[in-house]
Amino acid sequence: MFTTIVLGLDLAGSEKNTTGYCVILNDVIEDFGAVFSNQEIMSLVNKWRPKLVAIDAPLNFPKKGNLRDCDLLMKQINLNPLPPMLPGMRMLVNRAMWLVKELKNRDIDYIEVFPAGALRFLGYEKKPKSIAERLRIVKELMRIFALNIKRYPARLLPDIFDAIICAITGYAYINGDYIEIKGEECRVIFPTLPMDQTKS
Question: Mean pLDDT per segment of 10 residues, for the chain of length 200 residues?
Answer: 89 97 97 97 98 98 96 96 94 98 98 97 94 96 96 91 98 97 97 72
Question: Which pLDDT does position 16 carry in this prediction?
Answer: 96
With respect to residue 182, please indicate whether it lies within any of the assigned structural domains: yes
Specify if 198 maps to a domain.
Answer: no
Q: Using alpha carbons, list the distances in angstroms from residue 19 to 22, 96, 139, 199.
A: 10, 12, 22, 29
| pTM assigned to the model | 0.95
Flag whether 163 is in a domain.
yes
Residue 75 lies in a domain: yes
- Tell me the HSE value of 102 on the side-chain side, using a 13 A CA sphere: 16
The pLDDT value given to residue 167: 98
- Residue 155 pLDDT: 86
Whether 30 is covered by a domain: the verdict is yes
Give the Cα separation of 57 and 81 in Å (integer): 10
Give the contacts of 151 (CB within 8 A, at least 6 positions apart). Answer: none
Using CA of residue 170, residue 175, residue 180, residue 185, what is the dihedral sign?
positive
Residue 197 lies in a domain: no
Q: Is residue 92, in this structure, part of any structural domain at all?
A: yes
Instruction: Count helices and strands (H / E) in the chain.
Output: 6, 8
Q: Indicate which CATH number applies to the domain containing 49.
A: 3.30.420.140
Q: What is the structure's pLDDT at 200?
A: 44
Tally of domains in the chain: 1
Amino acid identity, residue 63?
K
pLDDT number for residue 1: 54
How far apart are the C-alpha atoms of 125 and 116, rounded to whole Å?
9
Q: Which residues of 9-28 are buried (b: 16+ CB within 10 A; e: fewer)?
A: bbbbbeeeebbbbbbbbeee
| Residue-number span of the structural domain to which 91 is assigned | 5-191
* Interatomic CA distance for residues 188 and 180, integer angstroms: 6
**Domain annotation covers residue 200:** no
Where would I find the H helices in 145-189? 158-174
